[in-house]
Amino acid sequence: MLRAASLAVTLSLAAAPALAQDGGQLFNNQCKICHSGGFMGPNLTGVAGGKVAAGSFNYSPALKAKGGEWTDENLDAFLKGPAAFAPGTKMMMAVPGDENRAAIIAYLKTLK
Ligand code: HEC
Protein backbone atom coordinates (compact mmCIF):
# COMPACT_ATOMS: atom_id res chain seq x y z
CA MET A 1 0.00 0.00 0.00
CA LEU A 2 2.64 2.44 1.09
CA ARG A 3 4.76 1.56 -1.89
CA ALA A 4 1.94 2.12 -4.32
CA ALA A 5 1.20 5.49 -2.79
CA SER A 6 4.77 6.72 -3.06
CA LEU A 7 4.96 5.49 -6.64
CA ALA A 8 1.87 7.55 -7.45
CA VAL A 9 3.49 10.62 -5.90
CA THR A 10 6.65 10.09 -7.92
CA LEU A 11 4.67 9.76 -11.13
CA SER A 12 2.62 12.88 -10.54
CA LEU A 13 5.74 14.90 -9.76
CA ALA A 14 7.38 13.66 -12.93
CA ALA A 15 4.32 14.60 -14.97
CA ALA A 16 4.02 18.11 -13.51
CA PRO A 17 6.24 20.02 -15.97
CA ALA A 18 4.15 18.79 -18.87
CA LEU A 19 0.94 20.23 -17.44
CA ALA A 20 -0.30 23.75 -18.05
CA GLN A 21 1.19 26.23 -15.62
CA ASP A 22 -0.83 26.90 -12.50
CA GLY A 23 -0.78 30.65 -11.96
CA GLY A 24 -1.79 30.39 -8.32
CA GLN A 25 1.06 28.05 -7.59
CA LEU A 26 3.57 30.20 -9.47
CA PHE A 27 2.33 33.20 -7.53
CA ASN A 28 2.69 31.37 -4.22
CA ASN A 29 6.22 30.32 -5.12
CA GLN A 30 7.53 33.53 -6.67
CA CYS A 31 5.46 36.50 -5.62
CA LYS A 32 3.67 35.88 -2.36
CA ILE A 33 6.73 36.44 -0.19
CA CYS A 34 6.63 40.13 -1.10
CA HIS A 35 2.99 40.53 -2.11
CA SER A 36 1.05 39.06 0.76
CA GLY A 37 0.02 42.35 2.32
CA GLY A 38 3.26 43.02 4.14
CA PHE A 39 5.68 45.93 3.79
CA MET A 40 7.92 44.30 1.18
CA GLY A 41 5.61 44.97 -1.74
CA PRO A 42 2.15 46.37 -2.52
CA ASN A 43 -0.95 44.26 -2.06
CA LEU A 44 -2.03 43.00 -5.48
CA THR A 45 -5.74 42.62 -4.85
CA GLY A 46 -7.50 44.32 -7.75
CA VAL A 47 -4.22 45.28 -9.39
CA ALA A 48 -5.12 43.77 -12.78
CA GLY A 49 -7.04 46.38 -14.77
CA GLY A 50 -6.39 49.05 -12.15
CA LYS A 51 -4.08 52.05 -12.21
CA VAL A 52 -0.33 51.57 -11.94
CA ALA A 53 1.05 52.28 -8.46
CA ALA A 54 -2.36 53.08 -6.99
CA GLY A 55 -2.15 51.02 -3.81
CA SER A 56 -1.06 52.16 -0.38
CA PHE A 57 2.63 51.47 -0.74
CA ASN A 58 5.78 53.53 -0.83
CA TYR A 59 6.26 53.07 -4.58
CA SER A 60 9.43 54.03 -6.41
CA PRO A 61 9.31 57.36 -8.26
CA ALA A 62 9.88 55.29 -11.42
CA LEU A 63 6.68 53.30 -11.09
CA LYS A 64 4.66 56.32 -9.96
CA ALA A 65 5.87 58.29 -12.97
CA LYS A 66 4.93 55.44 -15.29
CA GLY A 67 1.22 56.04 -15.01
CA GLY A 68 -1.35 54.16 -17.07
CA GLU A 69 -3.19 50.99 -16.17
CA TRP A 70 -2.26 47.38 -15.58
CA THR A 71 -3.57 46.00 -18.83
CA ASP A 72 -2.54 42.47 -19.80
CA GLU A 73 0.15 43.96 -22.05
CA ASN A 74 1.59 46.15 -19.32
CA LEU A 75 1.56 43.36 -16.76
CA ASP A 76 3.29 41.09 -19.24
CA ALA A 77 5.94 43.69 -20.05
CA PHE A 78 6.52 44.49 -16.38
CA LEU A 79 6.85 40.84 -15.39
CA LYS A 80 9.07 40.08 -18.34
CA GLY A 81 11.53 42.82 -17.41
CA PRO A 82 10.55 45.14 -14.56
CA ALA A 83 13.62 47.36 -15.01
CA ALA A 84 12.98 47.68 -18.73
CA PHE A 85 9.32 48.57 -18.17
CA ALA A 86 10.01 51.11 -15.41
CA PRO A 87 13.72 51.85 -15.06
CA GLY A 88 14.39 52.41 -11.35
CA THR A 89 11.52 50.24 -10.09
CA LYS A 90 11.95 48.58 -6.73
CA MET A 91 10.67 45.30 -8.08
CA MET A 92 13.51 43.09 -9.31
CA MET A 93 11.62 39.88 -9.92
CA ALA A 94 11.34 38.94 -13.61
CA VAL A 95 9.30 35.98 -14.84
CA PRO A 96 10.76 34.13 -17.80
CA GLY A 97 8.42 32.16 -20.06
CA ASP A 98 5.36 33.48 -21.89
CA GLU A 99 3.11 30.76 -20.46
CA ASN A 100 4.29 31.42 -16.93
CA ARG A 101 3.49 35.11 -17.23
CA ALA A 102 0.12 34.42 -18.83
CA ALA A 103 -0.76 32.02 -16.01
CA ILE A 104 0.29 34.51 -13.33
CA ILE A 105 -1.65 37.35 -15.00
CA ALA A 106 -4.76 35.15 -15.18
CA TYR A 107 -4.32 34.46 -11.48
CA LEU A 108 -3.88 38.17 -10.66
CA LYS A 109 -7.30 38.79 -12.24
CA THR A 110 -8.87 36.48 -9.67
CA LEU A 111 -7.55 38.63 -6.80
CA LYS A 112 -10.53 40.88 -6.13
C1 HEC B 1 11.46 40.76 -3.63
C2 HEC B 1 10.10 41.26 -3.51
C3 HEC B 1 9.15 41.09 -4.69
C4 HEC B 1 8.85 39.94 -5.37
C5 HEC B 1 9.42 38.55 -5.13
C6 HEC B 1 7.84 40.29 -6.32
N7 HEC B 1 7.55 41.61 -6.25
FE8 HEC B 1 6.15 42.64 -7.33
N9 HEC B 1 6.67 44.37 -6.44
C10 HEC B 1 7.63 44.48 -5.45
C11 HEC B 1 7.81 45.89 -5.13
C12 HEC B 1 8.78 46.45 -4.10
C13 HEC B 1 6.90 46.60 -5.96
C14 HEC B 1 6.76 48.11 -6.06
C15 HEC B 1 7.70 48.53 -7.17
C16 HEC B 1 7.98 50.00 -7.25
O17 HEC B 1 7.48 50.79 -6.44
O18 HEC B 1 8.76 50.37 -8.17
C19 HEC B 1 6.20 45.61 -6.76
C20 HEC B 1 5.20 45.92 -7.67
C21 HEC B 1 4.45 44.99 -8.36
C22 HEC B 1 3.32 45.30 -9.19
C23 HEC B 1 2.70 46.67 -9.42
C24 HEC B 1 1.77 46.97 -8.26
C25 HEC B 1 0.98 48.27 -8.33
O26 HEC B 1 0.31 48.56 -7.32
O27 HEC B 1 1.01 48.98 -9.34
C28 HEC B 1 2.88 44.12 -9.71
C29 HEC B 1 1.69 43.91 -10.64
C30 HEC B 1 3.74 43.08 -9.18
N31 HEC B 1 4.69 43.65 -8.38
C32 HEC B 1 3.62 41.76 -9.48
C33 HEC B 1 4.49 40.75 -9.02
C34 HEC B 1 4.38 39.37 -9.40
C35 HEC B 1 3.31 38.79 -10.31
C36 HEC B 1 5.41 38.72 -8.77
C37 HEC B 1 5.78 37.26 -8.91
C38 HEC B 1 6.14 36.80 -10.21
C39 HEC B 1 6.15 39.69 -8.00
N40 HEC B 1 5.55 40.91 -8.17
C41 HEC B 1 7.25 39.40 -7.21
C42 HEC B 1 8.33 43.47 -4.85
C43 HEC B 1 8.33 42.15 -5.26
Tell me what pLDDT residue 14 has: 47
Atom of ligand 1 nearest to the CA of 95: 38
Ligand 1 in reach of 43 Cβ (< 6 A): no
Dist CA 25 CA 46 (whole Å): 18
Ligand 1 in reach of 30 Cβ (< 6 A): yes
Sorted by where each begins, the domain ranges of the chain are: 20-108
Tell me what pLDDT residue 8 has: 54
Distances (CA, A) of 16 to 20, 41, 80, 103, 105: 8, 29, 23, 15, 20
The answer to whether the beta carbons of residues 87 and 3 sit under 8 Å apart is no
pLDDT 10s per residue in the chain (112 long)? 556 555 555 554 444 454 568 999 999 999 999 998 778 999 999 999 999 999 999 999 999 999 999 999 999 999 999 999 999 999 999 999 999 999 999 999 999 9
Atom of ligand 1 nearest to the CA of 51: 27
**Cα–ligand 1 centroid distance for 16 (angstroms):** 26
Looking at residue 101, its amino acid is R
**Cα–ligand 1 centroid distance for 5 (angstroms):** 39
Taking CB atoms within 8 Å and a gap of at least 24, the contacts of 46-54 are 46/111, 46/112, 47/108, 47/111, 48/72, 48/75, 48/105, 48/108, 48/109, 48/111, 49/109
Tell me what pLDDT residue 37 has: 73
- Domain 20-108, CATH number (from 3.30.360.10, 3.40.640.10, 3.20.20.150, 1.10.760.10): 1.10.760.10
Give, using CA atoms, the residue closest to atom 40 of ligand 1. Answer: 31
